[in-house]
Amino acid sequence: MSDTKEKRPASRARVVARFGLLTALALVLGWLDRAIPITWLLSGAAPGIKLGLANTVLLYAVYLMDWRGCVLLMLAKVFLSGFLFGSMSAIIYSLSGGALSLVVMLLVRRNEKYGALAIGLMALASDVALLMRNSAPKGRMLWIMLLIAAASVAAFAGFCAIRKNPRLGVLGTSLAGAVAHNVGQILAASAMLRTPQLLYTYLPFLVGMGAAVGCLTGIVARRVFLSLRAPGM
């Protein structure tokens, strides 16, 4: 079942090597995610926002492996990086985000353009929700709202682009995966903290930022796929 998309028949060694490579990459990028203080650069007092480079590895896996391989990779990434850098609660958040993100990416993989469309709509809704809360944003909040608006436009543009050229589809999967990761984490956090208000307060922001970051990682993933000349791209 695995690697049926491969031109050459996949040997066991190839599968193992690829799995090891992706796991190592996910761990290193996970460390890099922590090292890049995007949360301070972009928005200041907004915890939990990362570039999500480690998630792009999962994105490649969705295209390179079958679903069982993806699940295994996700679990390896969550537990290894959890034991290396984090704590037990960090593992719970990252498992929740990773699992939801993987399920969504595997589903969107078949309908990439609708992934982009859905994220465009969600980012737009988030921006409206933020605007309703603060109708005269200034300073940092204004920039965040502009960024989310730009991400929403980019996602709609992505939808149109994928419709024209299905080879750009990874952008839709990346967008959906990034937003789903954030949603999974905030669900876990509000359940762990028993604070449903957290969803109301933080969800629009996380969805919007997920769309913005998903755009970036989608573009990166597209470049990587071009270089890899991965089958099916």
Partner 1 sequence: MKKIILLLALVMALAFGALAEDAEPAMPAGYVLVSTATQSGWLPLPTEGDSVFPLSQVLPDGTQALNVIHLMPDGVYMEDSTCKNHDCVGEGEVTLENIPERVLGNMIICLPNQVVLQLYTPEETMAILGELPEIPEREKP
Least Å distance, CB 31 to partner 1, is: 14
Task: Determine, following the binding rule CB under 8 A, whether residue 132 of this chain makes contact with partner 1.
Answer: no
Question: Contacts with partner 1: how many residues (CB under 8 A)?
Answer: 30
Interface mask toward partner 1 for 59-98; x: CB under 8 A: ----------------------------xxxx--x-----
Write the DSSP string, 102-140: HHHHHHHTTSHHHHHHHHHHHHHHHHHHHHHH-SS--TH
Cα–Cα distance measured from residue 140 to residue 11, given in angstroms and rounded to the nearest whole number: 52
The residue (of 32 and 226) whose beta carbon lies closer to partner 1 is 32
Judged by CB under 8 A, which of 24, 146, 193, 228 binds partner 1? 193
Does position 139 interact with partner 1 (CB under 8 A)? The reply is yes
CA gap 138, 191 in Å, rounded: 32
Q: Which stretch binds partner 1 (CB under 8 A): 105-113, 164-172, 187-195, 224-232?
A: 187-195
21 binds partner 1 (CB under 8 A): no
Is there binding between residue 133 and partner 1 (CB under 8 A)? yes
Query: φ, ψ for residue 40 (rounded to 5)?
Result: -85, -40
Query: DSSP letter at 40?
Result: I
The three-class DSSP label of residue 195 is coil
Q: Which of 4, 165, 197, 227 binds partner 1 (CB under 8 A)?
A: 197
Q: What is the DSSP string of 179-224?
A: HHHHHHHHHHHHHHTT-THHHHHHHHHHHHHHHHHHHHHHHHHHHH
**C-alpha angle 50/54/59, rounded to 5°?**
115
Interface positions with partner 1 (CB under 8 A) = 40, 43-48, 87-90, 93, 133-134, 137-141, 144, 189, 192-195, 197-198, 201-202, 205
